[in-house]
Amino acid sequence: MSQYREGSTSSLTSLVTGAILGAAGLAWWLFSEAERRQKTRKQRAMLYAPRMQDGSEALETSSPKLKTETSEQLEERVEQLNAAIADVRKQLEDLGARN
Residue-wise pLDDT tens digits, 13-33: 999 999 999 999 999 999 999
Q: What is the pTM of this model?
A: 0.40
Model confidence pLDDT, tens digit, residues 63-96: 555 556 688 888 899 999 999 999 999 999 888 8
Main-chain dihedrals φ then ψ at residue 70, nearest 5 degrees: -80, 170
Residue 96: Cβ within 10 Å count: 13
User: Looking at residue 1, what is its pLDDT?
Assistant: 46
User: Looking at residue 25, what is its pLDDT?
Assistant: 95
